[in-house]
A and B are shown apart, each in its own frame.
Chain A
């Protein structure tokens, strides 16, 4: 065809041929246009409107997949108008879409840990893979697995079945510990330096995580911390009996081993200034946490014997003595208060009170922490607030006022209202654990409002190139939130350095929050596994030793297998979600709930899953079936708004003419058609493709084997329609496509076997080969070569067949060699 049609494509003159579609011309010129309903191997459909581009002179945007080029056409493929139109098209599609891309546990995790991934790897015994999947989003898993309040578990849908979640945290801990015990937390990849430098101030979970993810991207990272050890509040706040320091230290050391420079005992404001850092680094990330104890604002607060909660814990975690006397009042109801109270017991206080303004129900501390504090003998005084600390030069008593609960406040908790009634506690020490704030003194005034650092959603501060994350950005939160902050801030810094503007990654998520126990009635109940409980007195007898020993391996395998793999199986492949992410489409833009197609169905067969809730009516599957499979097993049924793709006559797919070749599944751009992973193999976030030939029939289809990079196992098989080396042009059958899981079957032979007295025993290769060699040469020499015979195999390779006949003829001296050619 003559390339005589001249087109101005994004301002550049290019030539195409007559009748060529804009989309094809773009593809030839390396310009990618998003498409959903288009497939180069099928006829045109033109329904998704994702491929819209701007053509000069045309009033409306045009579909690149359908519009042929003509001479002099001027095309713009990425204007604001085009972006907006594509985003709108995606939002419309997403509004008519029921499902959840990522499972609720993952969305509840502030660091977006791939819960489904690492839990299922653990359940499959793939601990190394599980650890790697963890590290993709969650640094310090052994530590987090000990202290995380586990918001993921709260949202786990297993609660709908058993009223108990999957033990996500304990599984995480098990995997982290497994890594530490194996002495290898993971392969440290060779890092491709990108020549850019980032300074991070503050080596708590936020700073350490940011350092890790920036380093993986190739940045030279320097971590500054005022303390002699890293870990932040995980090191200096959380006591050892909950998180032993060596565990945290080993995890941090592994991260540092990626080539991260540290400058310890170096405080911003004291030893180094922000200006200096800005001059020497391409970007600066502030992650200094919240290290200021909030004052109680009551008279007597400055008496000797009044301590801040974190200050007390800081001393404890430095192994220093603190004289508390015999009676201690801890003010506050959060985790810091619980840690302070329990440490006070361990520091010899005979009586420890916790004074809290509201009731037990409102306490922000973890339920487990409260239970354990009670069990250890801490006395809780609810509905009470300090009014004054009194004493002569040092604390002697604290005066409190009784409270009652009034209207809910902004946090939704009922507000404590003073009653006027007072009481007094005789104490030697008061520990104020009512909150922490940021120490803003090292920062210039333009960066904060006195309480908080100013920042936008991309972690950028008003000062160019300076970012903020973790508790310093959010106020006191939990460690895994700090990890997430560190990760996304690292991404934003990367975007800033590479593209000039900060940008927090966007992920498009369709969410389902309308499910309840009634949706899981067919699920078999299976109770959660719990660690062995250690009673309070035993705990106190070994005050700073860890007492929760976690789950056993058997428990992890059992509990992990309770996971129902919620979320969409197609999440890593779905084009709708990919484009939704690229175009930052918010699925909630248009109201949901009124689904235009009433007949939603989820139908599974042994090979694939049909979930019409996720169908976008692009018709790719219908065309794939009739034009590639040549079956026409499915078609659009019920025209108009009620359109549904189904086999004729409303039959089920198993009763239709479908032969499960999987062409439709492969080409479906969304999760409406996905491989049914009945064989329990997890879907990986990272995978590689190996081209090979099917081992079944004589057609010899070329197949793409998809290997999970983390486990090294096959998780899927597809074909390549555009492969230059394929004889099957992308076609295949049910066997090539779906019948591969035998590869990882438990029944595979793993060791040579020798039969003795009618039973097999395992043997070494040397022994087995030696035995066969001895027997065969023996027969050859005593009964003659023709007492031996060889069956080769039509299923083995040419090389193997060649060698076996050579062996028979040359080494054994017989032509008794044949194979089942006739089958």
Chain B
């Protein structure tokens, strides 16, 4: 998020797109609802489904799945043609306005209405409300990123905010809501093939990266480009990857095209999995390391608004399970490394020297409360809102994007659209929540079906329903609800025995390689 949570309290307008906030980020959802209820924030909700937040929306934009870029370009078309954008801000701070203007000119309300299924009047209201502000914030989640053209979606969101100058002030911002507790931190820590900790690009700033690694690790940095998850799985399948180490992930359930992942992992010569349970993935391993869970260790997580927060050991680990950091440390030593850390605080000390954004972060300071990066030095208070004084490289740039048809679109054979996602009550692949009371509340896969479709199929609440895509099928209990529009089903992905990802395609966003979970053409029948 460019802005912090407090900023939500200052938003006059909140545009929520592709985020079922109350279900996936419930506390943020509660703030948005509270603001709207108290008449402080106008809510624009853009979602194909009638999500709960839609009940609170001042403007309800039920655009068709996969039409996000068209929708946003359409809003910018209206904003520019009605002269509602911040011309002064754009002139001072953003490059390539003309390119944007030219591109969105094509996205007339009539055309966009046809693509998205949203009435022109609604498009105009949404555009005017957002542009008027005075402070408007955008919130989005996987509904935006998990598409073949997810990056375009994200860039287009940024274009809209830049166009209206909705950055750098409390109540504004472009606010992606992170799905998992420490996605932000894992990225910050350089757990990406192309980037070192602190987003130092190995290919672009090779010299600097090599220098830093030499200085801080006294080691030689490999400069050959690394493989992303998708490529790692491919390499495992083809035999190029011989040794694979998986820490705390369960790709057997979380990754698209389950069957393909199974084949790849089975094919890996030596698979090591470090986890708290013998997950579907761990079962395929050659060695399993028992790790501690979050309540059993010290460390930090970085949340979706860049706040580094301290987690604290509350209870002892079972048996001989050990914290992940200790296991990696001992493994490194066993491989001959001369590492020397005696606690997570020591590691953070090194991180603060490696990652400029974490320069001022230390456990002592975190005991006083969270620190929002960038926090470059020990006297820096942290940065709740980004871009308050402009942009890092002087000027930001518009990156106009065309709308493309999704990779797969319902047709005669697969007439429905299936979208996958989370339930409030479960988390991720369910290894944790399915061992809690939530397991009894929602025992197994359910599938949301619109009443119209249910009636046509003779489907009753709780009946088994089968959803089949070109890749596979799942069976779950029907939940009949108008939260999903006709000809769409929603399939949560927490249930390993009926994995929603049996439906999804190994189709990825071209630049981030985020799987396109949100759109799958399927057929739906009573099981």
Residues of chain A touching chain B, judged by Cβ–Cβ distance below 8 Å, are 605-607, 627-630, 659-661, 676, 678-679, 690-702, 705, 707, 712-714, 724-725, 727-728, 731-735, 738-745, 747-755, 760, 763, 765, 768-773, 775-777, 779, 783, 785-807, 809-823
Closest to B28 in A: A699
A772 touches B512 (CB 8 A): no
Provided the pairs A698-B184, A714-B314 are in contact, do residues A817 and B192 lie with their beta carbons within 8 angstroms?
Answer: yes
Does B313 have its Cβ within 8 Å of any Cβ on chain A?
Answer: yes
The minimal Cβ–Cβ distance linking B389 to chain A, given in whole angstroms, is 24
Given the contacts A727-B370, A789-B244, A792-B191, A822 and B314 also touching, CB distance less than 8 Å: no
Q: A815 and B293: CB pair below 8 A?
A: no
Complex Cα distance, B222 from A534, in Å, reads 77
Which partner residue on chain B sits nearest A713 by CB separation? Answer: B315
State the CA gap A705–B316 with chains docked (Å).
13
Stretch in B107-115, B233-241, B464-472, B484-492 with 4+ CB within 8 Å of A: B233-241
Chain A residues with CB under 8 Å of B229's CB are 791, 818-820
Identify which of B86-94, B127-135, B434-442 touches chain A.
B434-442
**CB neighbours of A743 from chain B (8 A):** 293, 295-296, 315
Tell me the bound Cα distance from A702 to B37 in angstroms. 25
B299 at the A/B interface (Cβ < 8 Å)?
A: yes
Q: Which of A728, A775, A791, A795 contacts B251 (CB 8 A)?
A: A791
**Bound: A59/B222 CA distance, A:** 84
10 tightest A-B CB contacts, nearest first: A750-B319, A815-B226, A700-B303, A797-B299, A698-B178, A822-B514, A793-B248, A749-B290, A733-B26, A773-B334
- Report the nearest B residue to A738, measured CB to CB: B437
Distance between Cα atoms of A787 and B27 in the complex (Å): 43
Interface residues in B272-327 (C-beta closer than 8 Å to A) = 272, 275-278, 282, 285-291, 293-297, 299-305, 307-316, 318-325, 327
Give Cα distance in the complex from A705 to B294, angstroms.
Answer: 11
Interface size bracket, B side: 35 or more
Binds A, one of B61-69, B422-430, B448-456: B422-430
| Residue B255 lies at the interface, judged by CB distance under 8 Å to chain A | yes
Cβ contact of B33, chosen from A607, A630, A811, cutoff 8 A: A630
Q: Are the C-beta atoms of A701 and B27 separated by less than 8 Å?
A: yes
Structural contact, A802 and B432, CB atoms closer than 8 A = no
Of B184, B243, B296, the contact of A776 (CB 8 Å cutoff): B243
B189 at the interface (CB under 8 A from A): yes
Docked Cα-Cα span, A809 to B285, in Å, equals 22
Q: Smallest Cβ distance from B505 to chain A, in angstroms?
A: 14
Q: A802-B189, A810-B219 are in contact. Are A792 and B181 (CB under 8 A)?
A: no
Are A698 and B330 in touch, CB under 8 angstroms?
no
* A821 neighbours in B (Cβ, 8 Å): 183, 186-187, 192, 512, 514
Q: Across the interface, do A789 and B232 meet the contact criterion of CB distance under 8 Å?
A: yes
Give every chain B residue within 8 A of A697 (Cβ-Cβ).
Answer: 24-26, 178-181, 427
A698 CA to B182 CA in the complex, in Å?
Answer: 6
Among candidates A705, A789, A798, residue contacting B185 with C-beta atoms closer than 8 Å: A798
How many whole Å from A735's CB to the nearest CB in chain B?
Answer: 6
Q: Which of A748, A787, A789, A803 contacts B277 (CB 8 A)?
A: A748
Given contacts A797-B344, A799-B344, contact A679 B181 (CB under 8 A): no
Contact: A698 with B290, CB < 8 Å?
A: no
Distance (Å) between the CB of A759 and the closest chain B CB? 11
Q: Are A788 and B244 in contact (CB under 8 A)?
A: yes
Checking B217, B224, B427 against A696 with a beta-carbon cut-off of 8 angstroms, the contacting residue is B427
In the complex, A818 Cα to B193 Cα: how many Å? 6
Which chain A positions have C-beta within 8 A of B438? 606, 734-735, 738-739
User: How many Å lie between the Cα of A753 and that of B294 in the bound state?
Assistant: 21
Determine whether B270 belongs to the interface, using a CB cutoff of 8 Å to chain A.
yes
Given known contacts A705-B314, A749-B276, A791 and B244 CB-to-CB distance under 8 angstroms: yes
**Residue ID in chain B nearest A747 by CB atoms:** B277
B321 touches A749 (CB 8 A): yes
Contact A809 B247 (CB under 8 A): no
B228 interfacial by beta-carbon distance below 8 Å: yes
Which B residues between 138 and 182 are near A, CB-CB below 8 angstroms? 142, 145-146, 150, 177-182
The CA of A733 and the CA of B320, in the complex, are separated in Å by 31
Find out whether the CB atom of B335 lies under 8 angstroms from the CB atom of A732: no
Report B-chain residues with C-beta under 8 Å of the C-beta of A739: 425, 427, 432-433, 436-438
In the complex, B513 has a CB within 8 A of chain A: yes
* Cβ B303 vs Cβ A801 within 8 A: no
Does B103 have its Cβ within 8 Å of any Cβ on chain A? Answer: no
B39 CB to closest chain A CB (Å) equals 14
What residue in chain B is nearest A806 (Cβ atoms)?
Answer: B217
Q: Which residue of A lies closest to B493 (CB)?
A: A823
- Counting chain A CB atoms within 10 Å of each CB, the highest count among B24, B243, B248 belongs to B243
Assess whether A755 is in contact with B286, with CB atoms less than 8 Å apart: yes
Within the assembled complex, what's the spacing in Å between the Cα atoms of A193 and B224?
68
Q: Can you list 18 A-B pairs with a CB-CB distance of less than 8 A? A: A630-B34, A695-B293, A698-B177, A698-B304, A731-B27, A735-B425, A740-B436, A743-B296, A744-B318, A749-B319, A749-B321, A753-B278, A776-B243, A798-B188, A812-B335, A813-B220, A821-B186, A822-B142
Answer yes or no: B249 CB below 8 A from chain A CBs: yes
* A679–B437 CA distance with the chains assembled, in angstroms: 7
- Contacts A740-B295, A811-B336 aside, 5 further interface pairs with beta carbons under 8 A come to A659-B424, A699-B26, A742-B435, A765-B322, A823-B142
**Interface presence of B337 (CB below 8 A):** yes
Residues on B with C-beta less than 8 A from A733 are 26-27, 424
Q: In B196-255, which residues have CB < 8 Å from any A CB?
A: 196-197, 202, 213, 217, 219-229, 232, 235-236, 240-249, 251, 254-255
Give the chain B neighbours of A678 by CB distance below 8 A. Answer: 437, 440
Chain A residues lying within 8 Å of B224, measured Cβ to Cβ, are: 786, 814-815
Chain A contacts for B344, CB-based, 8 A: 797, 799
* A813 contacts B295, C-beta separation under 8 Å: no
Q: Which residues of B contact A725 (CB under 8 A)?
A: 368-370
Chain B residues, Cβ within 8 Å of A630:
30, 33-34, 37
A797 touching B337 in the complex, CB below 8 Å, given contacts A700-B181, A731-B27, A790-B247: no
Residues of A near B286 (CB, < 8 A) are 754-755, 775
Whether A752 lies near B289 (C-beta < 8 A) is: yes
Q: Please give the distance in Å from A692's CB to the nearest CB on chain B.
A: 5
Contacts of B330 in A (CB 8 A): 765, 769
Q: Which residues of the partner chain B approach A792 to less than 8 Å between Cβ atoms? A: 186, 189, 191, 247-248
CA distance A806 to B331 in the complex (A): 12
Asked, given contacts A725-B368, A775-B243, A791-B247, whether A750 binds B436 with beta carbons under 8 Å apart, the answer is no
Contact A741 B248 (CB under 8 A): no
Chain A residue contacts of B435, Cβ below 8 A: 741-742, 745, 747
> Provided the pairs A735-B438, A818-B226 are in contact, do residues A801 and B320 lie with their beta carbons within 8 angstroms?
no
- Nearest chain B residue, comparing its CB with the CB of A702: B309
Most buried by A among B191, B300, B433, B441: B191
Contact B316 A712 (CB under 8 A): yes
Q: A713-B315, A735-B425 are in contact. Are A789 and B180 (CB under 8 A)?
A: no
Q: Which A-chain residue is minimally distant from B514 (CB atoms)?
A: A822
- Contact at B318–A795, with CB atoms within 8 Å? no
Q: Whole-angstrom distance between the alpha carbons of A699 and B301 in the complex? A: 11
Verify B427–A789 contact, CB threshold 8 A: no
Is B332 in contact with chain A by the CB < 8 A criterion?
Answer: yes
Interface centre among B5, B185, B354 (most CB of A within 10 A): B185
Residues of B within 8 A of A818 (CB): 191-193, 226-229, 232
Q: Are A606 and B437 in contact (CB under 8 A)?
A: yes
Residues of A within 8 A of B347 (CB): 799, 802-803
Distance (Å) between the CB of A623 and the closest chain B CB?
A: 13
Residues in A neighbouring B277, C-beta threshold 8 A: 742, 745, 747-749
B311 and A692 form a contact (CB under 8 A): yes
Question: For A660, A749, A769, A805, which residue has the most chain B Cβ atoms within 10 angstroms?
Answer: A749
Contact status B319-A791, CB under 8 Å: no
Nearest-neighbour CB distance to chain A for B3, whole angstroms, equals: 13
In the complex, chain B residues whose CB is within 8 Å of the CB of A732: 26-27
Q: Which of A693, A744, A791 contacts B232 (CB 8 A)?
A: A791
Cα A58 to Cα B197 in complex, Å, equals 67
For A768, give its contact among B251, B289, B304, B305 (CB under 8 Å): B289
